[in-house]
Amino acid sequence: PSKDPYVVKETIDRVLDKCPDIVTSVLPYADYTKQGADQVKPTVDVLTAAGPQYMQSAVLLIMSMTFSEKFTYVITESLLRETVDYLESHGVRPEFQGHAYSGLKDVKDWLIDKGHVKNPPLMNIMAGFHGFSHASPLEPDPWNYVYLMTMMQTLSPNWVRGVCAGGRNWLPFTVLAIMLGFDMVRVGMEDSVYLYPHKDRKLQSTAEAVKVVADIARSLGREIATPDEAREILGINPAVHDAVRKRPIRAAE
């Protein structure tokens, strides 16, 4: 694991070699000795200088917490606005991931209602993360399904609405999100180890999880966006499309 922005770029290079059309939404690994835009500048500066296809949007975790004496993440109105302004000035769309109603409401009150976020706002509900107690609940208890449905009501239909589900029960909650009409669901192995909640069947790859969810979505009548359609939905600059097409494939190492 590394927060070195050049390691992040090398990782994205390898992904783009295999999937040149992928829409990149990157967590700008933060320097937690600093706050606001200073936290994300190293990653943003390196990736946006490399080309717009490296960082089409950026994930911002909307929570304030202290993990240790050296690992503190603070969210205030001024710090969040400063970070968003820096991202948007570099052509990067902020993607807000809130673990609770309070975080999503902060984004609405501080930024959206005051016109500090370009349309459409990208809003994700975070739920059920491995080893992470600050996320929304994601247990096989009926109340938690009601909680997700209630959280959806806090998101405007004019926003791009998503769910980031992790933990043992990620698949049922992802299916629920698709059925409820969320625009996007995050799928992969960052916070999900097992494919099913009732079987000890481990995921072999993120691609396997994507295929399972894509098949379920289609069977429920939900279409899967193409890369260009995804850029349009997310409000990403169409010029990124041309940058992706012109990107040379690296020679095999």
* SS3 per residue for 111-166: HHCCCCCCCCCEEEEEECECCECCCECCCCCHHHHHHHHHHHCCCCCCCEEEEEEC
Write the DSSP symbol of residue 204.
S
Q: What is the pLDDT of residue 252?
A: 43
Taking only the tens place, the pLDDT of each residue in 141-172 is 677 888 889 889 889 999 999 999 888 889 99
Structure tokens at 251: 């020679």
Beta-carbon contacts of 245 under 8 Å, excluding residues fewer than 6 positions away, are 20
Q: What is the pLDDT of residue 130?
A: 55
The pairing of beta strand 160-165 with beta strand 184-186:
parallel
The average pLDDT across 101-108 equals 90
Q: Taking a C-beta distance cutoff of 8 angstroms, is the pair 192, 167 a contact?
A: yes
Phi, then psi, of 180 in degrees rounded to 5? -75, -15
The average pLDDT across 58-72 equals 71
Phi, then psi, of 175 in degrees rounded to 5? -65, -40
Phi, then psi, of 170 in degrees rounded to 5? -60, -40
133, 187, 132, 164: which is closest to 60 by C-alpha? Answer: 164
Model pTM greater than 0.85?
yes
How far, in Å, CA of 83 to CA of 35, rounded? 9
User: Percent of the chain having pLDDT more than 70?
Assistant: 84
Q: Which residue's entry shows tokens 């996007």?
A: 184
228, 225, 224: which is closest to 236 by C-alpha? Answer: 228
How far, in Å, CA of 36 to CA of 213, rounded? 35
Other C-beta atoms lying within 10 Å of the C-beta of residue 86: 21
Taking only the tens place, the pLDDT of each residue in 43-57 is 999 999 999 899 999
